[in-house]
Amino acid sequence: MIKVTLEGAKRVTDELAKAEKQVTFATAVALTRTAQIAKREVEAEMPKVFDRPTRWSLNSLRLIPAKKDRLVARVEMKNEADKSAPATKWLNPEIEGGPRPEKGSERNLRQKGVLPAGKFIVPGKGAKLDRFGNMTKGAITKALSGVGGFAEQGYSANATNSRRSRAKGNAKRYFVMKRGSMPIGIAERTSRNRMHILLAFTRRPTYSRRLDFYGIGDKVVKRHLKDEFEKAYAKAMRTAR
């Protein structure tokens, strides 16, 4: 009989089991740290490719860390919002390119028969823009109210013939301007003889790709994942019990 034994077999087995455990832990740490770097680099790119991005835009990403039982770390767009469009709705076209999705205000105007089929709204030449280049929500609300552009749950915001509504003056101040029989926008009267287009009706806006979200992520993984794993594994083995 030939008997083969390994001296210190239990010690070797224990060391291998410990190493396997630390590999899993180090992998989760490395994935999370690499995703953190990718998130920071995407956020740093935003002010370079967007014109005066808002704080909401710069905070539109979230990190989902990896775990030992889920070895995937993710950087993703937030898909919830507080009284505004979620990041997935307006940031995706900047990443993927293509047509802009329909806004809630456009959907309301279309349902009320104010906005023609196939048309979308953009700020007109007379629109006042904030420091980020956007119209305020209040200005848009007043314009839609004046032309009866709120539908469904928003109907109560429309201007009416009530004393309170007449006092606001939105129904007299805003109206749908037409070229012939074709509506071309919502105009605002600033005086008896002066007016300007506040919201212009136009073709669907189309975006080119501006934020290289996936390209930045790929570069970060190639540059950092290996080093992050080696650092995490070395530390894990030093501190393992």
> For the segment 86-120, what is each residue's pLDDT rounded down to a tens digit?
777 778 888 888 888 888 889 989 988 999 999 99
Q: How high is the pLDDT of residue 3?
A: 40
Q: Which carries the bigger pLDDT value, residue 40 or residue 15?
A: 40
Q: How high is the pLDDT of residue 12?
A: 47
The answer, yes or no, to whether residue 47 has pLDDT greater than 70, is: yes
Distance of alpha carbon 86 from alpha carbon 48, whole angstroms: 22
Q: How high is the pLDDT of residue 121?
A: 93
What is the arithmetic mean of pLDDT over 222-235?
93
Cα separation values, 129 from 86, 144, 189, Å: 21, 17, 18
The answer, yes or no, to whether residue 37 has pLDDT greater than 90, is: yes
Please check whether residue 186 is in contact with residue 147, taking contact to mean a CB–CB distance below 8 angstroms.
yes
Q: How high is the pLDDT of residue 90?
A: 73
Averaged confidence pLDDT in the chain:
83
Least confident of 4-8, 195-199, 203-207: 4-8
Q: How high is the pLDDT of residue 21?
A: 77
Q: How high is the pLDDT of residue 219?
A: 96
What is the DSSP track for the chain? ------TTHHHHHHHHHHHHHHHHHHHHHHHHHHHHHHHHHHHHHHHHHSSS--HHHHT-EEEE--BTTB---EEEE----SSS--HHHHHHHHHH-EEPPPPHHHHHHHHTT-SPTT-EEEE-TT----TTS---HHHHHHHHHHTT---GGGGGGS--SSHHHHHHTHHHHEEEEEETTEEEEEEEESSSS-EEEEEEEESPPEE-----HHHHHHHHHHHHHHHHHHHHHHHHHHH--
Distance of alpha carbon 209 from alpha carbon 211, whole angstroms: 6
Interval 129-188: pLDDT, tens: 887 778 888 888 888 888 888 876 545 566 665 666 555 667 788 999 999 999 999 999
Please check whether residue 28 is in contact with residue 36, taking contact to mean a CB–CB distance below 8 angstroms.
no
Interval 54-98: pLDDT, tens: 888 888 899 999 998 999 999 998 876 555 667 777 788 888 888
Instruction: Tell me the torsion sign for CA atoms 212, 48, 74, 241.
Output: positive
Q: Which carries the bigger pLDDT value, residue 10 or residue 239?
A: 239
φ, ψ dihedrals at 197, nearest 5° = -80, 120
Q: How high is the pLDDT of residue 6?
A: 46
- For residue 197, the cross-strand partners are 187
Q: How high is the pLDDT of residue 43?
A: 95
